[in-house]
Structure 1
Amino acid sequence: MSSGHIPEHIIEAVLKHHDIVEVVGKYVHLSKAGRNLKGLCPFHSEKSPSFNVNPEKQIYKCFGCGVGGHVIRFIQEIEGYSFGEAVRHLADDAGIAYVWEQQTPEQAERQHEKDQIVKGHEFAAKLYHHILRNSAEGKPALEYLRARGFTDTLIETFQIGFAPNRWDVLAQYLEQRKFPLPLMEKGALIAPKSSGGGYVDKFRNRIMFPIQDARGSVIAFAGRTLGADQPKYLNSPETALFRKSRLLYNFHAARAEMKRQGQVVVFEGYADVIKAWMARVHNGVATMGTALTEEHALLLRRSAERVVICYDGDDAGQSAAYKSLHILEKAGLDIKVAVLPNRLDPDEYIDSFGPERFRSDIVEEAVPPEKYKLIHLRKNFNLQEGEAKLRYVRTAIREVIANIPAPTQREHYLKELASEFSSTSSFETMKQETNEIREQLQKKRSSGDNNDFSWNTVRNDGGDSVPLPKLKPAYDKAERHLLYVMMQDKDISALVQERLGDAFNDEAHAALAAYLYAYYAQGSEPDANKYMTSLQDDALERLVSSILMTESGQGISEQVIEDYLMQIDKHRQQQAIERLVEERIQREKSGDSIGAARIQLEILALNGKLQKR
């Protein structure tokens, strides 16, 4: 069985060269857990590790969300690659030479279009950068950037450019360089003229910030106006390559430092990231005109354990920071929030106080989320009034402090509150009120109401509200055991093929068996990972990884194999009896007593066979 047009020896070489622990370890912090290694799943939100990697079998499996497979599948899932792209990525990393055709002409065409669109963006970035640095048209923009504190080094590092105030500068250059203009329109670099016949540029009279994907390829732009035109920032529209909810500005350049520090700083804007770079904050990323999403949070957690939110100091920025806390907590990240004074944004703070103070006084002094929630909450109260002070204290206890799980942390913030508002309430009174609120919260959670932990697919701290997994029927267990042994032993697979064929009760198990027979028919030797790559089916690969991770070949004998086959055949006969019983009932209802009697004889014969087993 082939994997498209990728030669089998290349797939084998890739699987042999790459240890799954090393590959997964670049994205997930793994800890030893018996024979496996465990970590937080990079594909769904969880606080309790359910993501397992087995170094002996070279597979991964998450028992929370179900993902699983071999090292190629992991790269597919984590990077959003096709199978071929994942093999290329791993082959390049290993220095394995490869040559193969794309799977189909349609796939080849799609890949060619994607490559052309990326090349178009790369060319546009170089053109805009050249215009900014070397033309009279770009001079006002260059002077504006320098006046804003953007050094030539920053401009060069981030390849900032300028789109001149003309209709079709980029369109003309793209046409001269033989770029297919309809494809460039598809990639949102140009747009058709409203009058018809020709194209105009998407961006005009704007400072251009290239937006790169995780691999560093330019796939979109953000354009900032020089004057009072609106909108102030204009992003490329979303395309097949550019999805704002899944992409973070500067992620490609920040990832290495994120991994080194285990921390990322999240900003709202491009200018903040660039200025922070000057302050040696090289682990900064930014959302792109959209709120932080769960996809963003999972992307961050693959490279860092801690996040510092550094949003603008105005009301809109602080509200956005507050809303992002839940999303980041849900992803299992350790969070702190940078507090900027006087409603400044990071860019303005760096201009006013310098890069060193920004790093030391703002980023390094970021506060825990509980502290930030209290800071954010108090803005809603006029604390010069006695009644407002009381309302603030009670609201702070109810909405923040009572929800803190750690007793020492609760007590710390209660003491701070009591110290500041001693004239309003005593520490003991506040503590009593906190305990009463926590009791009420526990009652709600235990009854399933307002369960704050319902997002965690692995462990729900609410207790008994999480249903236990259903026990699998005996035939299912037998089929899984049998498939596990078949993947390890070619002779047993041949025996099962002769005795059972594809007559497994579970359709997915039957499909795995059929693929396994074909795999061995090509002369392949037992190799579960190589067999998995031949499937080219996400659901089947997940099933194989689950079988390999949970089943064991210990104690296998001829008698055990016979018992498995009997169990599977027994269930098939029971199913056949149930179908015959339904048919007999229908015959009886229709008045066909002879037909019903004949079916009853078949039922008795099958029951007799079952009793002899």
Structure 2
Amino acid sequence: MSSGPIPEHIIEAVLKHHDIAQVIGKYVHLSKHGRNLKGLCPFHSEKSPSFNVNPEKQIYKCFGCGVGGHVIRFIQEIEGYSFGEAVRHLAEEANIAYTWEQQTPEQAERQQEKEQIVKGHEFAAKLYSHILKNSAEGKPALDYLRSRGFTDSLIEAFQIGFAPQRRDVLAQFLVQRQFPMSLMEKGALVTARSEGDYVDKFRNRIMFPIRDARGAVIAFAGRTLGTEQPKYLNSPETALFRKSRLLYNYHAARAEIKRTNQVVVFEGYADVIKAWSAGVHNGVATMGTALTEEHALLIRRSTESVVICYDGDDAGQAAAFKSLGLLEKAGLDIKVAVLPNRLDPDEYVESFGADRFRKEIIEGAVPPEKFKLLHLRRNFNLQDNEAKLRYVRTAIREVIADIEAPTGREHYLKELASEFSAITSFESMKQETNETRGERQQKMRSNGDNNDFSWNTVRNGGTGSAPLPKLKPAYDKAERHLLYMMMHDRDISDLVHKRMGDAFNDEAHAALAAYLYAFYAHGSEPDASRYLASIQDDPLERLASSILMTESEQGINDQVIEDYLRQIHKHRQQEEIERLVKERDATEKAGDVLGAAKIELDILALTGKLQKR
């Protein structure tokens, strides 16, 4: 990490103004845990919280995946910003005046390009909106939207527009307003022709602006009015638009997601908009692509609970079934909305109204196990007794046997037994469930799967027997604890600087000490978040945050400091002795007996010093 030319007083003002617990609390549900706050890490999948925030030191650390740092670092990681972009973002939120030069001309050029592309998209959204509402060319599209239940207020709220059939309407306006057309092509608004002019990317389509997490328009989705294929056409991916990492309407839904601690995931834009009109303001959608791991982690950063509300047809239900694994892996509490008669959410709202949609579909969403059973039975003709028995056995083996909680297994077995009592009994189903689980456990043991432990992952939920971590050498503990003291006390840092400088055994520890000496040399007082902001290396920053999050097992006093210094120095002497022994043996092997004897004297002298210690 490099702060480059950003003035120190701006970084200091940003760190001072923003309380790290409040900033992270917008993304992660935190609960009190001693001096720290804990929550599920937004940067990797886990079921038990290992993400720690220390309000006193204004730092965070995940002991699962290793991320850590100060509030600027968190915004960098969570939003994908550079250091400068994160400082700018936090400065804007705090109304802190900022001016500084970009780190390099290349970075300045890239930032300017991004800003121009966003301005081009913002202009295009306004133009398309105007054409839809105020032109003869837009009237058929406006009439169509109104016939589908899109009110004028909804159209305005989501800035829905229309791209006319003419090939260069947008391109001409962009040229007139002196937008750099090569950048507009790079941003996928227009396409260059061999004649040297440009044509619009979208034509004769209803336009849905796609916004990033901050609400800036960065892409479009266009829905055809005719029979052209595809029905929906997204902007191609650009430096600003990555479908696998972005959710439609996330910027607008974020506040309601935070309030309800729940997100509703839809398949399409129209579903999100109609659900919004029905009072479901925590809805988002993927953009013509299946749910990805990036989507799941984005959701996990905002909430712990998700409702999947996909179309009721076979394709929609299959997509919902496929999404369950990704969302479960992310550690989310999942429910699935089940739409009757193969309807999609848009159609259901139109047919049955907002109240029934909220109460019966969203609030009536079922647990994953129930949905899996409902999804599975689509494959069986339950008018036939033999098919019924196959369904029951398949349900046991593919769904119920996978349920970890005994009470959960029993609940669904009783439901099956109640429905299919004519062909089998509850006791028989329970016996088959236990046999299936036993077979799987035996198979796992024979395959050696129980040796593959990963601490606090979704696979084991942070439980079970894991191999003991490799013990660190004594000097490592001494160096880490000494650094902890130095980070909290300038006088101790000065003492260590005089006694041993950067002569730590671990190179990373030596580097942290060097940064600390420089930090204090500038007149700074102990301050964890400001010290972390001064470190210009990501792995070192993570290491420093890990050290800062630990508590010293012993009190800070002169004797403890001396013990640590002695332990560090002792290891260095031991390494020197080992080096000399190798040198002596090599010298002796080469036939230089006197040379070997001289090295032996040096070894004895060092060994004597060690014994005195």
Q: Which residue of 1 aligns with 2:262?
A: 263
1:250 aligns with 2:249: yes
Q: Which residue of 2 aligns with 1:26?
A: 26
Q: Is the 8 A contact 1:188 1:239 kept in 2?
A: yes
Q: CA RMSD in A?
A: 2.2
1:498 aligns with 2:502: no
Per-residue deviation, residues 568-601 of structure 1 (Å, max 9, x unmatched): 1221222223333334444455555555454444
Q: Which residue of 2 aligns with 1:472?
A: 472
Q: Which residue of 1 aligns with 2:606?
A: 606
Per-residue deviation, residues 338-387 of structure 1 (Å, max 9, x unmatched): 11122221122223333332222211211111100000111111212222
Q: Is the 8 A contact 2:310 2:345 kept in 1?
A: yes
Secondary structure at the residue paired with 2:379? coil
Q: Which residue of 2 aligns with 1:574?
A: 574
1:560 aligns with 2:560: yes
Q: Which residue of 2 aligns with 1:368?
A: 367
Q: Is the 8 A contact 1:64 1:458 kept in 2?
A: no
Query: Which residue identity lines up with residue 143 of structure 2 in the other structure?
Result: E
C-alpha deviation, 1:319, in angstroms: 0.9
Q: Which residue of 2 aligns with 1:274?
A: 273
Q: Which residue of 2 aligns with 1:352?
A: 351
1:238 aligns with 2:230: no
Q: Which residue of 2 aligns with 1:170?
A: 170
C-alpha deviation, 1:93, in angstroms: 2.4
1:71 aligns with 2:71: yes
Moved more, 362-371 or 400-409: 400-409
Query: Which residue identity lines up with residue 137 of structure 1 in the other structure?
Result: E
Q: Is the 8 A contact 1:460 1:466 kept in 2?
A: no
Q: Which residue of 1 aligns with 2:319?
A: 320
Moved more, 79-88 or 266-275: 79-88
Residues 597, 203 of structure 1: CA spacing in aligned structure 2 closer, same or farther, 3 A cutoff? farther
Per-residue deviation, residues 106-147 of structure 1 (Å, max 9, x unmatched): 222221111111111111111111111111221222122222
Whole-angstrom CA distance in 2 between matches of 1:111 and 1:604: 63
Whole-angstrom CA distance in 1 between matches of 2:426 and 2:562: 71
C-alpha deviation, 1:558, in angstroms: 2.0
> TM-score normalised to the size of structure 1?
0.95
Residues 407, 271 of structure 1: CA spacing in aligned structure 2 closer, same or farther, 3 A cutoff? same
Whole-angstrom CA distance in 2 between matches of 1:461 and 1:19: 31
Q: Is the 8 A contact 1:264 1:307 kept in 2?
A: yes
Q: Is the 8 A contact 2:51 2:60 kept in 1?
A: yes
Per-residue deviation, residues 529-588 of structure 1 (Å, max 9, x unmatched): 111111132211111110011132852222222221221122122222333333444445
1:422 aligns with 2:408: no
Secondary structure at the residue paired with 2:149? coil
Q: Which residue of 1 aligns with 2:540?
A: 540
Matched ranges for 1:102-141 at <5 A? 102-141=102-141
Whole-angstrom CA distance in 1 between matches of 2:591 and 2:379: 79
Secondary structure at the residue paired with 1:379? helix
1:160 aligns with 2:171: no
C-alpha deviation, 1:421, in angstroms: 0.7
Whole-angstrom CA distance in 2 between matches of 1:182 and 1:595: 73
Query: Which residue identity lines up with residue 604 of structure 1 in the other structure?
Result: L
Moved more, 202-211 or 493-502: 493-502
> TM-score normalised to the size of structure 2?
0.95
Matched ranges for 1:44-83 at <5 A? 44-83=44-83
Q: Gapped runs of 5+ residues in structure 2? A: none
Whole-angstrom CA distance in 1 between matches of 2:287 and 2:477: 49
Query: Which residue identity lines up with residue 161 of structure 1 in the other structure?
Result: G
Query: Which residue identity lines up with residue 504 of structure 1 in the other structure?
Result: F
Moved more, 571-580 or 229-238: 571-580
Query: Which residue identity lines up with residue 489 of structure 2 in the other structure?
Result: D
Identity percentage of aligned residues: 81
Moved more, 380-389 or 258-267: 380-389
Q: Is the 8 A contact 1:244 1:288 kept in 2?
A: yes
Secondary structure at the residue paired with 2:162? strand
Per-residue deviation, residues 447-488 of structure 1 (Å, max 9, x unmatched): 665679969438825965522222211111111111111112
Q: Which residue of 2 aligns with 1:4?
A: 4
Whole-angstrom CA distance in 2 between matches of 1:311 and 1:459: 27
Q: Is the 8 A contact 2:70 2:532 kept in 1?
A: yes
Q: Is the 8 A contact 2:554 2:560 kept in 1?
A: no
C-alpha deviation, 1:252, in angstroms: 0.4
C-alpha deviation, 1:14, in angstroms: 2.1
Number of residues of Structure 1 aligned to a counterpart in Structure 2: 612
Q: Is the 8 A contact 1:311 1:321 kept in 2?
A: yes
C-alpha deviation, 1:96, in angstroms: 2.6
Whole-angstrom CA distance in 1 between matches of 2:141 and 2:2: 55
Secondary structure at the residue paired with 2:46? coil
Residues 467, 453 of structure 1: CA spacing in aligned structure 2 closer, same or farther, 3 A cutoff? closer
Residues 7, 461 of structure 1: CA spacing in aligned structure 2 closer, same or farther, 3 A cutoff? closer
Secondary structure at the residue paired with 2:334? strand
Whole-angstrom CA distance in 2 between matches of 1:252 and 1:350: 23
Residues 489, 459 of structure 1: CA spacing in aligned structure 2 closer, same or farther, 3 A cutoff? farther
Q: Which residue of 1 aligns with 2:510?
A: 510
Q: Is the 8 A contact 2:58 2:528 kept in 1?
A: no
Whole-angstrom CA distance in 1 between matches of 2:374 and 2:457: 31
